[in-house]
Structure 1
Amino acid sequence: MKKVSLILMLAVFVMSAQAQKKKKASDIKAIKDMCGCYEVEFNFAETFSPIKDYEYHDNYQSGALEYVFPVSETKDKIVLQHLLVIGDTMIIKHWRQDWLYENTDLYSFHKDNTWKYQALDKNDVKGQWTQKVYQVDDGPRYEGTATWVHVDGKSYWEAKSDAPLPRREFSKRDDYNVMARENRHEITEYGWLHEQDNQKVLREDEDEEDKVLAWEKGWNTYTKTEDDKCAVAKEWWDEHEAYWADVRTVWDELFASKSTVKIKKKVEDKVLFMQLFDLQDELLAEDYESEKAQKEIKAVIQKYLDSEQRLTMN
């Protein structure tokens, strides 16, 4: 009887391992299905407010041509970079999303350009993927962890994350300081959908409850189009890839410290991405040296760190 029980236990273990391997392969396929050349439509609308005299803001609509592609991939991490294509020649480095399998390290947005490290229990992230979203300068934005779901022919992932104000509002509004996001990424026949159910939150003292100003619906569609439309983006990345790899390396050093990160909004009347973009053009105009680039990138980022955190300059 004991021998039979052991055989059954082994069989169950093998079947479970095979199912987990198959599930992970489906997850990876869904993540990589977000790659390609896309016509993107951004739509946001405030839907409800608990404040009686709240003045609703205008709906936001915009569109763009966007190229999404894998920067790197290992068995437990997939890095996807977004590039905006403007006209026939202009490229703007856009946001980045890293997907990490069963990740236990999270940087959670608190408020006012401050992110706090959070260690997760490995049992709580079993089978889950963390989506780490970064700014155009590869600095932190928001992170969330959840399970990819594959059912009834659908593949989707959804999680809640606190985030700073979106770029469409951060320079226009100061009545709230946290966007409490609920993100859903779903693979569709036309490409993929980024659906959002957000709360615009005013977060003040630690012992006070968050004040919700309004709810917002986001509906961003990524419709696949001909790859040739994004050919200029591929060429641009070939020329700029080394620089942004060094930028990621510098940020990774900071994140590895697991300490609170607070970033100044402006230095010398410039936001961080402007200085990093200027440095990009300067360094790529000469013979590029990674060691020199990382030292200069560190010097720029260090000026924006409003904390005791120090980057090593050697």
Structure 2
Amino acid sequence: MRALMIAAALLATAAPVAAVAQTAGPAATAPTSAFERDRQSILAEAGQFRVRFDFRENVSFLAGYTPVESHDSAGNEIVRVVYDHGDKISLQHILVMEHEGQSIVVKHWREDWTYQPATVLTYAGPGEWTLSNVPEAERAGAWSQTVWQTDDSPRYGGVGKWSYDNGMAVWTSGPTWRPLARRDAVRHPVYDRYLGVNRHALTPVGWVHIQDNMKMQAGQGDDGDPVAVVQEDVINTYRKWDGYDPKAGDDYWAATKDYWAAVRDLWDAAIAAHGGVRVQEVAETGAVTGTPLMDLAEKVQSGEVTTAAAIDQAKTIIATATAR
């Protein structure tokens, strides 16, 4: 996990990216259907990017709480297609940073898209996720987006539709519960979850992920409703850029993708067995499984352990962490 800590430090101190050269992709071919148009919008998120992460707390709704100062960071990130099964698409984000002349690679978040989903995995509160049914009227023409942490443990899921009004391609989720991001969790704030609306919009030079988050405090008592603490805007801008070599990230993925495929299957099995999953959250890594599963991937890449041996260890790690 040392690579993850170094990458986090580099992101926190990275220079602004306003002057970064941008490389626009080729003109898109006209889609043959609304479904295919949506698919191509999702697949347009794959590529090589310079990313800027911009976080801004705006309005306090809790007496005595003062919004924290806005902050931003930047980094290099590649997004690769894990699979494309037509109505199901998976994209893997991988950070590729430089530190003292060495490439630092960190498997970042993963996003899975499903067309007209019957269920979606949703955040139910600290350490718990549940498979929620999607009403038939809500799923028609819609896509779910499920986001996973660096170790492929769950993060959040939501459902929304792509729209193409005013010359924009935009997917907008319904209100979605989410666990704290590392940037907040490490501060141990008074809130313990977000209720957010997510938008993914294509731009001429890439795409942008816009979040409207209400940071919430747990309610009092078993039946108490969560209490709004502060509203936050997040704008994560992905600009196509070939100003760095993605080889280190692609080499990592080539060496570990079979291991991570098995890890995904293990998480899916745990979720299917109980209609959801419980796993302890950790501020630094997102889940208690984060460090051991990420460390195993590094050992697979270095040849210290075989993929098969790592999968066996991952099975024990996930089974232990999700035991009820």
CA deviation string 1:61-92 (max 9, x = no partner): 11110000101110110000000011152210
CA deviation string 1:222-242 (max 9, x = no partner): 111018632321122111111
RMSD: 2.1
Q: Does 1:301 align with 2:318?
A: yes
**CA shift in 2, pair 1:227/1:147, >3 Å:** farther
SS at match of 1:94: strand
Give the AA of the match of 1:192: W
| Aligned counterparts of 1:300 and 1:144: Cα–Cα separation in 2 | 27
- TM-score of the superposition, structure 2-length normalised? 0.82
Q: Which runs of 5+ in 1 are unaligned?
A: 1-19, 309-314
CA deviation string 1:6-34 (max 9, x = no partner): xxxxxxxxxxxxxx960011101100111
Identical-pair percentage: 29
Which residue matches 1:311?
none
**CA shift in 2, pair 1:289/1:136, >3 Å:** closer
SS at match of 1:68: strand
| Aligned counterparts of 1:108 and 1:21: Cα–Cα separation in 2 | 32
Asked whether the equivalents of residues 193 and 222 of structure 1 are also in contact (C-alpha less than 8 Å), the reply is yes
Q: Which runs of 5+ in 2 are unaligned?
A: 1-30
Asked whether the equivalents of residues 194 and 214 of structure 2 are also in contact (C-alpha less than 8 Å), the reply is yes
Q: Does 1:95 align with 2:109?
A: yes
Deviation at 1:52, TM superposition (A): 3.5
| Aligned mate of 1:171, from 165, 169, 186 | 186
Give the AA of the match of 1:259: G
Give the AA of the match of 2:44: D
Of 134-143 and 45-54, the range deviating more from structure 2? 45-54
| Aligned counterparts of 1:297 and 1:197: Cα–Cα separation in 2 | 35
SS at match of 1:265: coil
Deviation at 1:219, TM superposition (A): 1.1
Q: Does 1:277 align with 2:294?
A: yes
CA deviation string 1:31-70 (max 9, x = no partner): 0111111110001111001224212212121111000010
Q: Does 1:123 align with 2:137?
A: yes
Count of matched residue pairs: 285
| Aligned counterparts of 2:269 and 2:55: Cα–Cα separation in 1 | 35
| Aligned counterparts of 1:250 and 1:156: Cα–Cα separation in 2 | 32
Which residue matches 2:79?
68
SS at match of 2:191: coil
**CA shift in 2, pair 1:287/1:262, >3 Å:** closer
Q: Does 1:84 align with 2:95?
A: yes
Deviation at 1:122, TM superposition (A): 3.0
**CA shift in 2, pair 1:142/1:95, >3 Å:** same
* Structure exhibiting the larger radius of gyration computed from Cα positions: 1
- TM-score of the superposition, structure 1-length normalised? 0.85
SS at match of 1:176: coil
Which 4+ stretches in 1 moved above 6 angstroms? none
| Aligned counterparts of 1:176 and 1:236: Cα–Cα separation in 2 | 36
Of 295-304 and 155-164, the range deviating more from structure 2? 295-304
Give the AA of the match of 2:210: E
Which residue matches 2:270?
254
Deviation at 1:275, TM superposition (A): 0.6
